[in-house]
Amino acid sequence: MENVSKTYKGGKNAVKNINLEIKKGEFICFIGPSGCGKTTTMKMINRLIEPSGGAIYINGENILHKNPIELRRHIGYVIQSIGLFPHMTISENITLVPKLLKWKEKKRQEKAKELLKLVDMGPEYLDRYPHELSGGQQQRIGVLRALAANPPLILMDEPFGALDPITRDSLQEEFKNLQKTLDKTIVFVTHDMDEAIKLADRIVILKDGEIVQVGTPDEILRNPKNEFVEEFIGKERLIQTRPNVELVRQIMNKNPISITEDKSLSDAIALMKEKRVDSLLVVDENNQLKGYVDIETIDEKRKKASTIKDLLITDLYKVQADTMIRDTVQKILKRGVKYVPVVDETNHLVGIVTRASLVDIVYDSIWGTDDALITTIS
């Protein structure tokens, strides 16, 4: 069985009948206002809090029938206050769980060194004490301690909450990468929506002990289920992601300048001059996108060619009308292209996204007005 699946049903008030399945390798964020039961729910997974009803399964095994001590040793646990033991060295702290599991001293030492490397800390830290480290370093050690016995599942209770924003940011980044490389299942409790959006594969929004919405960050941002979720996400973020401008279809210029391939070069030049552009999208009689021509090619090869077909450049990036803006923007910015033609499923030219459209998006996200979108520039 590769699937980690869990079902909770808490009978008491703090958490009411929660049902959730978590897949292996998934990064789940529990989020909600204080007192919503997110920490309680998480702590039931390693039985720091005993569920009063229902059952939790890990790999098909009901954890309520397992020895809680054994269970916890095979689940990583990171808390907000870090909880490093001040009287133990870093290496002792990291290898605490392996020690409880009675690993050999040598194996533990190796593990400690290996883990320190993961967070770019040298072996010179092994013999230091927690108070000699900065907050960010301490929490790195806290994370390593959770990883030490190589548990498939890690629970994290606002692990980055007590850090300053800059440290938090870099740790989040680091940790997300770590999670991807190590392929751990993570249950992460936070009240910081930015953090959840940044890290989570799926976000679970809780309120009063009940799940309000479960979904990927995108789903939740685009379709907040109710007012509570909307409010919780915050207006600002909703504007940023603007559900109504998520798709290319909504921001593209619907009147791309195109020309059919059987037209002559002088027609093309005339059209360019008229529309004040330096390239033209080329379509066939059915409005199927074929490629493009630009003024430089025409200039170079004017003597040899007579129709556009001869100078057609077929190698071009295009996007479908239903793709996300994000991806299109990336293409424009990364590949340095000036525009991206937009096609439908059957390769019919339906529009174009130009750098000017991007300016609109930026303008819109800064000043948040809608009219900028309507303006079409090419």
Partner 1 sequence: MTTLIEFLQINWLETLYKAWEHLYISLIAVLLGISVAIPLGIVLTRMKKGAGFVIGFVNIVQTFPSLAVLAFFIPFLGVGKLPAIVALFFYSVLPILRNTYTGIKGVNPNLLESGKGLGMTNWERIFLVELPLSLPVIMAGIRTSSVYLIGWATLASFIGGGGLGDYIFIGLNLYQPAYIIFGAVPVTLMAVLIDYLFAKIEQKVTPKGIKGIKETV
Q: Please check whether residue 43 is in contact with residue 36, taking contact to mean a CB–CB distance below 8 angstroms.
A: no
Please tell me the distance from the alpha carbon of residue 304 to that of residue 83, in angstroms, as a whole number. 77
Closest-CA residue to 154 (of 72, 80, 91): 72
Work out whether 221 is an interface residue with partner 1 (CB under 8 A). Answer: no
Ordered alpha helix ranges (H), the chain? 38-45, 68-73, 90-94, 96-100, 105-118, 135-147, 165-182, 193-199, 217-222, 227-233, 235-241, 248-251, 265-275, 295-301, 308-311, 325-335, 355-367, 371-374
Out of 10, 32, 37, 130, name the contact with partner 1 by CB under 8 A. Answer: 130
Stretch that binds partner 1, among 69-77, 183-191, 317-325, 355-363 (CB under 8 A): 69-77
Out of 58, 94, 97, 308, name the contact with partner 1 by CB under 8 A. Answer: 97
In the shown chain, the binding pattern of residues 132 to 171 toward partner 1, with x for contact by CB under 8 A and - for none, equals: x------------x---------x----------------
Q: Pick between residue 131 and residue 304 the one whose CB is nearest to partner 1.
A: 131
Stretch that binds partner 1, among 53-61, 126-134, 340-348, 360-368 (CB under 8 A): 126-134
Work out whether 88 is an interface residue with partner 1 (CB under 8 A). Answer: yes
Out of 29, 30, 40, 46, name the contact with partner 1 by CB under 8 A. Answer: 46
Q: Pick between residue 75 and residue 350 the one whose CB is nearest to partner 1.
A: 75
Please tell me the distance from the alpha carbon of residue 256 to that of residue 340, in angstroms, as a whole number. 10
**Cβ–Cβ contacts within 10 Å for residue 308, how many?**
23
Query: How many separate helices (H) and strands (E) can be counted in the chain?
Result: 18, 14
Closest-CA residue to 175 (of 237, 120, 225, 112): 120
Work out whether 353 is an interface residue with partner 1 (CB under 8 A). Answer: no
Q: Pick between residue 73 and residue 290 the one whose CB is nearest to partner 1.
A: 73
Stretch that binds partner 1, among 63-71, 214-222, 270-278, 337-345 (CB under 8 A): 63-71
Work out whether 39 is an interface residue with partner 1 (CB under 8 A). Answer: no
Stretch that binds partner 1, among 78-86, 273-281, 291-299, 311-319 (CB under 8 A): 78-86
Work out whether 71 is an interface residue with partner 1 (CB under 8 A). Answer: yes
Out of 77, 125, 160, 292, name the contact with partner 1 by CB under 8 A. Answer: 77
Shortest Å, Cβ 77 to partner 1: 4
- Residue corresponding to tokens 């909703």: 238
Work out whether 81 is an interface residue with partner 1 (CB under 8 A). Answer: yes
Shortest Å, Cβ 28 to partner 1: 18
- Residue corresponding to tokens 């060619």: 305
Give the 3-state secondary structure percentages of the chain, helix then strand then coil, rounded to 5. Answer: 45, 20, 40
Q: Who's near 243: CB < 8 A, 6+ residues apart?
A: 221, 222, 223
Beta bridge mates, 280? 293
Q: What is the contact surface with partner 1 in residues (CB under 8 A)?
A: 46, 48, 69-75, 77, 79, 81-89, 96-97, 100, 129-132, 145, 155
